[in-house]
Structure 1
Amino acid sequence: MLYMAVAAGSFRRYATYRAATAAGIVTNTVFGFIIAYAYLALWDQRPHLGGYGPAQALTFVWAGQALLAVAMIATGGLSELQERIRSGDIAVDLYRPADLQLWWLAADLGRAGIQLFGRGVAPMAVGALAFPLALPGDPLTWGWFLLSALLGVVVSFALRYLVALSTFWLLDSSGLAMISGLSCMFFSGMVLPLRVFPDGLSDLAQLLPWAALLQVPADVLIGARTGGALLRGLAFQAAWAVALLALGRLLQSAATRKVVVHGG
């Protein structure tokens, strides 16, 4: 119940930023149009690039814009946690009768929930009105997509949590967060679907954890993953989520074994 309350509080907190949400919707929609027309030009030359048809490629674009803020694809860290570690306020968090990792995971899930309703649904709806998208008509497929997106958010959090914990040693982890964010943009499929990459790079990229953020959920949405491939994709996401959360717990244990607050 504690972590549900944390998630609900985070949801309400981000829901108050209406102007920021509206600005984000406009930004995602504008960039969606720019990328969509670039994809149209590319797929006009190679209609089956990466195994996608033009409608599937356009759907991939708008799925990316819908999940950009939900999974924090362009963000490499947890800025608020990083600042609390740097300033020493993390000592207060460690005194709380709650697990540090679960607390921040719950807060991140609450943030992702409001972003899904705000910056997720609206750009996708605009894209569906403006372009012939390959959206599923089966409600079950939408359910699998939402589950896949949820797993992607957990993997994203686990990656960003590791970056944030590095602040215990680096004090300023903004550089590492920038590298992580750039890696996420490239290897998640946000720049181009990973299936479009050259064979060797494509195979490698689809094994990395960043593929769980966008590539897998988008493939589920456009019907590129069904049956066994769907289950393997969800298992891939779940495996990375468990592995990265476990690694985060080990790093957290090492970091909090002895905490020295600045100033004494």
Structure 2
Amino acid sequence: MSTSGLYRAVSVSSFKRYATYRAATAAGVFTNTVFGFVLTYTYIALWDQRPRLGGYDQAEALTFVWVGQAMIGAMALLGGGFQVELEERIRTGDIAVDLYRPADLQLWWLASELGRGAFQLLGRGIGPMVAGSLAFELALPSSPLTWLWFLTAVGLGLVVSFGLGYLVALATFWLLDGAGMRMVSTITSIFFSGMLLPLTVFPGGFGEVVRWLPWAAMLQVPADVLLGQYTGVGLLGILGFSAAWALVLLLLGRALQAAATRRVVAQGG
């Protein structure tokens, strides 16, 4: 099997693996939908007072809510994903077996996470989005091209999400227990991705800074692409922003992986 075929098989296997958890998927759809309704009515009250808050009208703001609910599972905004499994393998020493595989550790886990994210987007994302569009007036685009650009932004966001999670998981080589780092990472993702409020709502210099952080690529950017906030050169620029963060995080993960591998060799002899 070719190298590309191997990682493709890992992605497909991961997709199928998560597809077997039907009860958990149904529970996730229900939870995301309920939380979407709670957040929607909060947004309605807020946008009634500030009709153009953050540069969105009410329909666009509500669309932002339901896009977020559709992507919670895929982007692992509330935790989960591959991190717990990888951290456990590091803690128990099973990671040594992974390092002897004829496959790159980072690419193996990236392929697995892309498969998981694809299933979560379909399995847990479509249901809440449909529920939101039936119950409220949303500003969903009619152009297939806009949806294609949206999926491109989502794909880049998944790589950014993986890159951040991989760095957190690899920290277990030094911390031995990654629970604390994982909790901090989850809180950071919730706040800086735009899950609670669009990042455009934050004023002044703080708002400018948070929109340039990598977490923005996980929700804020895909939502804005779907809402048509970017066109032409601006659209290419914002996708380039996500792609640049994805590359930077993968390179940082590669460097940390190399340092961790030397640590395994030093301890293992």
Aligned-residue sequence identity (percent) comes to 65
**8 Å Cα contact 1:155-1:244 kept in structure 2:** yes
Q: For 1:168-204, what per-residue CA distance to the aligned partner results, in whole angstroms no more than 9, with x for missing partners?
A: 0100011011111101100000010000011211100
Match of 2:30 among 14, 26, 30: 26
Match of 1:230 among 229, 235, 258: 235
Match of 2:252 among 240, 247, 252: 247
Match of 2:65 among 47, 61, 64: 61
What root-mean-square deviation, in Å, do the aligned CA atoms of Structure 1 and Structure 2 show? 1.5
* 1:129 Cα offset (Å): 0.3
CA distance in 1, matches of 2:39, 2:204: 23
Structure 1 segments of 4 or more deviating over 4 A? 260-264
Q: For 1:73-93, what per-residue CA distance to the aligned partner results, in whole angstroms no more than 9, with x for missing partners?
A: 122871100000001110110
Aligned residue in 2 for 1:51: 55
Q: For 1:12-42, what per-residue CA distance to the aligned partner results, in whole angstroms no more than 9, with x for missing partners?
A: 1000000000000000000000000000000
CA distance in 2, matches of 1:167, 1:256: 12
Match of 2:181 among 173, 176, 181: 176
CA distance in 2, matches of 1:106, 1:39: 36
Structure 1 residue 42 corresponds to structure 2 residue 42 = no
CA distance in 2, matches of 1:250, 1:65: 33
Aligned residue in 1 for 2:160: 155
CA distance in 1, matches of 2:266, 2:165: 22
**8 Å Cα contact 1:68-1:74 kept in structure 2:** yes
Q: What one-letter code is carried by the residue in structure 2 that aligns with 1:161?
A: Y
CA distance in 1, matches of 2:64, 2:231: 16
**8 Å Cα contact 1:88-1:262 kept in structure 2:** no
The runs of 5 or more residues in structure 2 that have no matched partner are: none
Aligned residue in 1 for 2:84: 79
Which stretch has the larger CA shift, 244-253 or 220-229?
A: 220-229
**8 Å Cα contact 1:88-1:261 kept in structure 2:** no
* 1:258 Cα offset (Å): 3.5
* 1:262 Cα offset (Å): 8.9
CA distance in 1, matches of 2:7, 2:145: 28
**8 Å Cα contact 1:158-1:241 kept in structure 2:** yes
CA distance in 1, matches of 2:105, 2:243: 21
* 1:263 Cα offset (Å): 9.7
Instruction: Report how many aligned residue pairs link the two structures.
Output: 264
**8 Å Cα contact 1:91-1:261 kept in structure 2:** no
* 1:229 Cα offset (Å): 1.8
The runs of 5 or more residues in structure 1 that have no matched partner are: none
Aligned residue in 2 for 1:117: 122
Match of 2:105 among 100, 103, 107: 100
Q: What one-letter code is carried by the residue in structure 1 that aligns with 2:52?
A: H
* 1:211 Cα offset (Å): 0.4
Structure 1 residue 129 corresponds to structure 2 residue 134 = yes
